[in-house]
Amino acid sequence: MECAHYDAGRCRSCTLLPLSSHVRVRRSQAEIARLLAQATTASGAVSADCPVPESAIASGTPPTSTSGGATGIRWLPPATGPDAGFRNKAKMVVSGTVDAPVFGILDDAGAGIDLRDCPLYPQAIHRLLDAVPALIRRAQIPPYDVARRRGELKHLIITVNDAGELMVRFVLRTPKPVERIREHLSVLTAAVPGVRVVSANIHPQHSALLEGAEEIHIAGDRHLPMRQGRVSLQVLPRSFVQTNTAVAGQLYEQVAEWADEIEARHRLGTADSRPGGTGAADTGSPGAGGGDGALRIWDLYCGVGGFALHLAAPGRAVTGVEVSAEAIASAQAAAAEAGLTADFVVADASDWAGEQDVLPDVVVVNPPRRGIGALAGWLEGSGICDVIYSSCNPRSLARDLKQMPSYQVTAARMLDMFPHTAHAEVVVQLRRTTEAA
């Protein structure tokens, strides 16, 4: 990817831009493999209640470690996407003046650096950023001056879907400009077709936080539909959604494929893959599939339902758990629109799991960067056979795996979710063994 801002030294957010994508991805996977090799201690045969899944002998990269020895991990080819125009969300600091607003970042002296033409973003976001200054001038919305703690418009947050439709959020110090934005919004919508959601976020504190707690709807729909993989998600203004749509789709499809393999084994009756016999909770609740043979799946930290909606299917009982009520509302709306059956619960994932009397066949976790914390210990003692862990922080994944010594990583895939940076997504398939080293 070519970037004039990087070449000029104005922005170095893409810290690994000089590396070719091939080299960067290869190095990233090698580092993740090293972390997993250090963290995974499970040994011995897979539990008799948890037979080896067919995926462990399916096609893919032979299990190897960075030191050349076998690890039992089958590495699938990395999931990649475009190296430019891939990012579906722009978070711009607003500086400058009413007559000459600047969208981008601040330099060390607090002056604005204009990044409206940042090549990470698709053309729909570029067009929007070019059109917003006219609205700011017409509505007389002064950009926030960090040094003086004066002004109104702190940030501009833009999200675009695969159809080029846009969600625009004005992060304001006070609600005072809201009515002026509403009055003059046609200046923006006439210039940029496809503006579907407009809102204001009220952020009165002088802090480095991106946004505040209050959201005010200004115009258009309440949510932005966004297709990732085979499902159209319903994204509300404060919802988290994967920012790389092409790679996110591959992540969801990978997890769905692993779930299909587990279900095939479950249906063939090669073994009862449910936990049992060691004091694990009862697995016969009609509310979770009961004794009808349904595959029971928990999607913990489910967000707007990306994994749960890809896993929902006839013959399955899928439950998504997320602490954000807004995200759960989005997931429920998406499920209804797609005609999918899944239950969604507003709760802390770790607390909720510990309160259940009926355990699932499969647990999918997709935690924030800090990892799953105490939930790792709960999973270790649960007797659950299959866990799929999607992580945006391989180091916290490795730390969590050290608390789950009875699980073996049987398959893994690196996903290039954050091109040109040292950040990476990795998803691993875990299988319970009979003993821990």
- Blockwise average pLDDT, block size 10, the chain, 437 residues: 96 96 96 91 58 44 39 90 97 98 95 97 98 98 96 98 97 98 98 97 94 97 96 94 96 98 80 43 38 86 97 96 95 96 97 96 96 96 96 96 95 97 96 68
Active-site hit among 14, 50, 385, 392: 392
Residue 10: name the closest of 104, 146, 128, 125 by CA: 104
Query: What pLDDT score does 164 carry?
Result: 97
Residue 173: name the closest of 131, 147, 206, 219 by CA: 206
Query: What pLDDT score does 19 carry?
Result: 96
| Nearby residues of 286 by Cβ (< 8 Å), 6 or more positions away | none
| Nearby residues of 366 by Cβ (< 8 Å), 6 or more positions away | 299, 300, 301, 302, 303, 306, 307, 389, 390, 391
- Helix, strand or coil, per DSSP, at residue 8: coil
Query: What pLDDT score does 323 carry?
Result: 96
Query: What pLDDT score does 265 carry?
Result: 84
Query: What pLDDT score does 410 carry?
Result: 94
- Helix, strand or coil, per DSSP, at residue 411: strand
Active site residue 392: yes
Query: What pLDDT score does 145 carry?
Result: 96
